[in-house]
Structure 1
Amino acid sequence: MKKIIASIATIVGLALPAFAFASTWTIDPDHSNIGFKVKHLMVANVKGSFEKHTGTVEINDKDITKSKVEVSIDTNSINTNVQKRDEHLRSADFFDVAKYPTMTFVSKNVAKAGKDRLKVTGDLTLHGVTRQVVLDVEPISKESKDPWGNIRRGTTATTKIDRKDFGLTWNKGLETGGVLVGDEITITLEIEMIRK
């Protein structure tokens, strides 16, 4: 009987870490930012962000490569602090928010990339097109309890995409050469999460 109990205890002991080290987190939109920058007139970067977004992150601290992330972004919430430009970006020339109200990212693979850094590969769906992108993720912070008892963690992730890969092709040529809007978009996610 003692042997049976010992065997059960061993099995439970081996199974527990997988659950103990896995946790689910929701992205806190009030303390997160999904921003981007793109070259304008070939001379300077214009920056903007998406004000409305939701997401879930599953973190497995025992085996970080088993972690997962899903993010949904409201394209209508784009904000570059210039109303006329934002209206143009919402139009069919760019995001066409009436037809494509959201963009999403769903991770497919998580790999270690140096000390506590990660490369998260996943599907980005934007403007009705899905392409694989890789997020370079900085070390995820340790857990911290806020004054209201919520447990929080945070990180920063970046990637670059070619907007033409997603059908965002509108542009105008310049008399001096080059184009009005660059093709390469740098995306930065400053993420703070709350444990469920």
Structure 2
Amino acid sequence: MKKLILLLAVPVLLTACAKPADKTPAASASASEAAPDVSQLPAGDYHADPAHTSLTFEVNHLGFSHYTAHFTKIDAQMSLDPAHPEAAQLTAVIDPQSLELNAPPKGFHDALMSKDWFGASQFPEIRYQSTAITRTGPATADVSGNLILHGVAKPVVLHVRFNGGYPGLQGYDPNARIGFSAAGSLKRSDFGISFGVPQAGSSMGVSDQVDFQIETEFTGPALKAS
């Protein structure tokens, strides 16, 4: 009974899933779209700005709604040469305990951290490491990488759009800054999180597929003195 209440009360999950094409940030760019000017951006190490980084995911709940939640502790680093973005290296680490829910029932967050879901005590971090970057347009790319979730490593692709950047603003923001939007997908059962997945032909439960959207800004090398 307790597990049934958990299942019907609110869903759970985690990270990534491919949106339909019209929702994906990297969705087909117009052929006339100009490539962003990156000529002034410095090469070097970039770090995600926590004040401008969010990871929101959604799952289908009973076929009635798409339940959303988000993580608040994300540490991402990237080695980037803007002139050769396909050679960039990205690493991101998420603290599953930082999961924030909409009006959760008492004890629900703890239940999601249990072995039936994230198993946060045994697996205290979710990690993503890029392995390849393929440009898909003037400002878009597919980032392939390995996601380690619940102790299982599987490939996950992020569809990414580069939103722009600057080398720094004298007297205001002394470091380079760049921004991205991204989306991706996974099946949670691939990572050993299958509790509540509906039976075939039914929507009674929480979907196997998890969809996520990322909005982020990275800060980089300091602006060179003029």
Same fold at TM > 0.5: yes
Q: CA separation of 1:144/1:44 partners in 2, compared to 1, >3 Å: closer, same or farther? A: farther
- Answer yes or no: is the 8 Å Cα contact 2:158–2:183 preserved in 1: yes
Within the candidate set 183, 189, 199, 1:158 is matched to 183
Percent identity over paired residues? 25
* Structure 1 counterpart of 2:47: 26
Relative contact order (alpha carbons < 8 A, sep ≥ 6): 1 or 2 greater?
2
Within the candidate set 78, 81, 88, 2:111 is matched to 88
Q: Aligned partners of 2:81 and 2:198: how far apart in 1?
A: 48
Q: CA deviation at 1:26?
A: 0.4
Q: Aligned partners of 2:126 and 2:148: how far apart in 1?
A: 5
Name which of structure 1's ranges 87-96 and 145-154 shifts more when overlaid on structure 2: 145-154
Within the candidate set 58, 66, 75, 1:54 is matched to 75
Cα RMSD (Å): 2.0
* Structure 1 counterpart of 2:130: 107
1:191 and 2:212 are equivalent in the alignment:
no
- Counterpart of 1:167 in structure 2: which amino acid? G
Structure number with the higher helix fraction is 1
Q: CA separation of 1:99/1:179 partners in 2, compared to 1, >3 Å: closer, same or farther? A: same
1:141 and 2:164 are equivalent in the alignment:
yes
Q: CA separation of 1:172/1:72 partners in 2, compared to 1, >3 Å: closer, same or farther? A: closer
Aligned residue pairs total 176
Structure 1 portions without partners, runs of 5+:
1-19
Which structure 1 residue ranges, 4+ long, deviate > 4 Å from structure 2?
none
Name which of structure 1's ranges 149-158 and 64-73 shifts more when overlaid on structure 2: 149-158
3-state SS of the aligned residue for 1:187?
A: strand
* Structure 2 counterpart of 1:98: 121
Give the structure-2-normalised TM-score: 0.72
1:119-134 to structure 2, matched below 5 A, reads 119-134=142-157
Name which of structure 1's ranges 106-115 and 141-150 shifts more when overlaid on structure 2: 141-150
Structure 2 portions without partners, runs of 5+:
1-40, 222-226
Name which of structure 1's ranges 100-109 and 29-38 shifts more when overlaid on structure 2: 29-38
Per-residue Cα deviation, 1:27-56 (whole angstroms, up to 9, x for no partner): 011211011111111121111111111010
